[in-house]
Copies of this chain bind each other. A is one copy, B any other.
Amino acid sequence: MNLELLCKNAAAIKYEMQTLSTEKKNQVLEQGAQALVNCQEEILKANELDMQKAVEKGMPQGLQDRLRLTVSRIEAMAEGLLQIANLPDPVGEIIETFDRPNGLHIEKCRVPIGVIGIIYEARPNVTADAFGLCFKTGNVVILKGGSDAFYSNQKIVEVLRRVLGENGISVDALTMIEDTSRETVAAFMKMHRYVNLLIPRGGAGLIRSVVENSTIPVIETGTGNCHIYVDAEADLDMAISIIFNAKTQRIGVCNACESLVIHEKIKDALLPKLAEKLREKQVEIRGDEQVCEILPESVPATEEDYGKEYLDYILSMKTVGSIEEAIAHINRYNTGHSEAIITKDKAHAEQFLREVDAACVYVNASTRFTDGFEFGFGAEIGISTQMLHARGPMGLRELTSYKYQIYGNGQVRA
């Protein structure tokens, strides 16, 4: 279908979506979950086509694994929709009320954003997930998935649209842009007349391209050059446990630790023990001069290392002489995602919380907790690393806007 028409159709039904009751939306999500399970053979067959293409083009094993669907992965997608059905509906919530001296009564009320576009890469489970989150919040969603997952995405969308239709809801509440050419994606990013928000989910390159080319308001998500700073006074065992967790518990995620900042007073006590622990996972260390002196097996870090999101078993290390230097280093290189301090010093903890510029700043905990589920939001569309609208884990509430509803009895302005 013509791209502009597709976007126009999406915009045309946004008000219909906004009037759906919570019960109706939950019913659709539950039926959608059931339909995914019922149609698992169709979905697996479609996924098989994607996998064949992937093998033919020599896709690396790691990416093949992300792309592959199985019965249990389809069940997990279905489970995700059920979880979203069970979350409270934020639409219609009165956030605040106030009364003016002239008698006007003002209510600030949560409403859907409208039409949300999502551009994402390989994993097909995002398809069901993004639909569930947007649908529950009364938004229309237009998906542009990666070409590698084309057949899987197409089938999942087909199954879910069927459920929409069976429930008397416009199937355009969920559409997929099937033409994955660069030109079409570029044109999609200019559809601000119809699309209210664009969320890119994927690597730094995708996000940069969207930020630089979109005329639709964008929420940047997901790049995380996350630091852990070990202060002069810190519990060494806690530091090692947190660093090991944040670096190695899952390496390919945006909230993994990529860089360590160490106060020089604690380096001699910390580094040998830490290096021993990190050796369990063959973590490569790229350190400054002081680090390399203590850990001769480490590689000298370059300027580039400090700005890098490795997503790998690599950790950069930088020694500092003060907490101020640590904060300045972090504010220079971080991506506004998640940063942590390990300290026994309460004043330093507060200073770090206040002065480090990131969506989530931790005292004595792993950066890996930056996640909608871990925060108790019940679901997540991504982690915002920008300042506007939402910052950090984005759950259902973050997929809404608000309006002011004002009750008068004839007030005019003097």
User: What 1/0 flags go to A18-48 for Cβ under 8 Å of B?
Assistant: 1100000000000000000000000000000
Q: Which of A278-304 contact B (CB under 8 A)?
A: none
With a CB–CB cut-off of 8 A, which chain B residues contact A354?
A: 18-19
Query: In the complex, how many angstroms separate the beta carbon of A103 from the nearest chain B beta carbon?
Result: 9
Within the oligomer, what is the number of copies of this chain?
Answer: 2
Q: How far is the CA of A388 from the CA of B394 in the complex (A)?
A: 13
Pick the interface stretch among A73-81, A127-135, A268-276, A405-413: A405-413
Taking a contact as CB atoms under 8 Å apart, the answer to whether B407 and A363 are in contact is yes
Taking a contact as CB atoms under 8 Å apart, the answer to whether A366 and B404 are in contact is no
CB pairs A–B below 8 angstroms (20 shown): A15-B355, A18-B354, A98-B375, A98-B376, A100-B376, A104-B369, A196-B386, A196-B387, A217-B386, A219-B388, A238-B410, A242-B411, A359-B404, A360-B406, A363-B408, A365-B410, A366-B413, A369-B406, A388-B388, A388-B389
Taking a contact as CB atoms under 8 Å apart, the answer to whether B412 and A249 are in contact is yes
With a CB–CB cut-off of 8 A, which chain B residues contact A113?
A: 387-388
| Chain B CB within 8 A of A170 CB | no
Interface size on A, residues (CB 8 A): 68
| Chain B CB within 8 A of A233 CB | no
Q: How far is the CA of A155 from the CA of B271 in the complex (A)?
A: 56
* Residues on A facing B (Cβ under 8 Å): 14-15, 18-19, 98, 100, 104, 106, 111, 113-114, 192, 196-197, 211-212, 215, 217-219, 235, 238, 241-242, 244-246, 249, 331, 349, 353-355, 357-366, 368-370, 374-376, 386-389, 391-392, 401-413
Q: How far is the CA of A387 from the CA of B390 in the complex (A)?
A: 12
Query: In the complex, how many angstroms separate the beta carbon of A120 from the nearest chain B beta carbon?
Result: 19
| Closest Cβ neighbor of A215 among chain B residues | B212
Q: How far is the CA of A331 from the CA of B98 in the complex (A)?
A: 26
Taking a contact as CB atoms under 8 Å apart, the answer to whether B365 and A104 are in contact is yes
Q: How far is the CA of A75 from the CA of B237 in the complex (A)?
A: 62
Taking a contact as CB atoms under 8 Å apart, the answer to whether A403 and B358 are in contact is yes
Taking a contact as CB atoms under 8 Å apart, the answer to whether B408 and A392 are in contact is no
With a CB–CB cut-off of 8 A, which chain B residues contact A386?
A: 196, 217
**For chain A, what secondary structure do more than half of its interface residues adopt (helix, strand, loop), or is it mixed?**
mixed
| Closest Cβ neighbor of A363 among chain B residues | B407
9 more CB-based (< 8 A) A-B contacts, given A217-B217, A360-B403, A391-B404: A15-B355, A98-B376, A100-B374, A196-B387, A242-B412, A360-B406, A363-B405, A364-B411, A368-B412
With a CB–CB cut-off of 8 A, which chain B residues contact A244?
A: 412
Taking a contact as CB atoms under 8 Å apart, the answer to whether A410 and B242 are in contact is yes
Taking a contact as CB atoms under 8 Å apart, the answer to whether A197 and B387 are in contact is yes
Query: In the complex, how many angstroms separate the beta carbon of A413 from the nearest chain B beta carbon?
Result: 4
With a CB–CB cut-off of 8 A, which chain B residues contact A402?
A: 391
Taking a contact as CB atoms under 8 Å apart, the answer to whether B412 and A361 are in contact is no
Taking a contact as CB atoms under 8 Å apart, the answer to whether A411 and B361 are in contact is no
Q: How far is the CA of A360 from the CA of B412 in the complex (A)?
A: 15
Top 4 A-B pairs ranked by shortest CB distance?
A365-B408, A245-B412, A368-B413, A389-B389
Q: How far is the CA of A401 from the CA of B386 in the complex (A)?
A: 9
Taking a contact as CB atoms under 8 Å apart, the answer to whether A388 and B217 are in contact is yes
Taking a contact as CB atoms under 8 Å apart, the answer to whether B100 and A375 are in contact is yes
| Closest Cβ neighbor of A114 among chain B residues | B387
Query: In the complex, how many angstroms separate the beta carbon of A344 from the nearest chain B beta carbon?
Result: 11
Taking a contact as CB atoms under 8 Å apart, the answer to whether B211 and A365 are in contact is no
Q: How far is the CA of A143 from the CA of B297 in the complex (A)?
A: 51
With a CB–CB cut-off of 8 A, which chain B residues contact A388?
A: 113, 196-197, 217, 219, 388-389, 401
Taking a contact as CB atoms under 8 Å apart, the answer to whether A365 and B406 are in contact is yes
